[in-house]
């Protein structure tokens, strides 16, 4: 029966595969639904390169209030430091792609001039 009617599984594949990819982005990357939909729509077009010591597990542990030394110990040297060392980029697009998984940490200085994490950015970057 399944051999004759294989085409009945086509709608399931058309709907099911994107739903699985969407769930993957929500559960693995922690994206909200809107960003997961964006990432799913550019599934084969995105390409990301990460800093040498970067890992998602360590990046997930970075919280606002941590100092720059702690961040450096957890995720290592960023690709770039921008805006007078207030932005540390841990991911960049690979090649000429316009779609990638953005990983960035924003810092602010406290009253003792120690850099502290203000915000941790985990987003799908689509230009």
pLDDT of 1: 52
Confirm whether pTM is higher than 0.85.
no
Residue ranges covered by each domain of the chain: 8-44, 47-127
Domain 47-127 has CATH 2.40.128: no
Q: pLDDT digit string (tens) for 30-77?
A: 899 999 999 998 988 889 999 998 998 999 999 999 999 999 999 999
What pLDDT does residue 127 have? 75
pLDDT at residue 2 in the model: 56
Q: Would you call 4 exposed, middle or buried from its count of C-beta atoms within 10 A (0-12, 13-18, 19+)?
A: exposed
List pLDDT tens digits, range 111-127: 998 899 999 999 998 87
CB atoms within 10 A of CB 41: 15
- Closest CA relative to residue 90, chosen from 48, 126, 119, 127: 48
Residues in the chain: 127
42 neighbors 126 (Cβ within 8 angstroms): yes
């Amino acid at each position: 029966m399944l051999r004759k009617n294989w085409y009945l599984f086509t709608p399931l594949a058309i709907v099911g595969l994107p739903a699985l990819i969407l769930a993957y982005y929500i559960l693995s990357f922690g994206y909200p639904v809107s960003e997961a939909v964006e990432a799913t729509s550019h599934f084969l077009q995105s390409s990301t390169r990460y800093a040498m010591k970067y890992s998602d597990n360590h990046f997930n542990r970075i919280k606002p209030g941590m100092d720059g030394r702690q961040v450096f110990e957890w995720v290592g040297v960023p690709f770039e430091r921008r805006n007078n060392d207030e932005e540390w980029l841990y991911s960049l697009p690979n090649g000429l792609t316009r779609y990638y998984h953005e990983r960035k940490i924003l810092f602010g200085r406290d009253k003792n001039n120690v850099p502290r994490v203000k915000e941790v950015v985990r987003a799908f970057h689509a230009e």
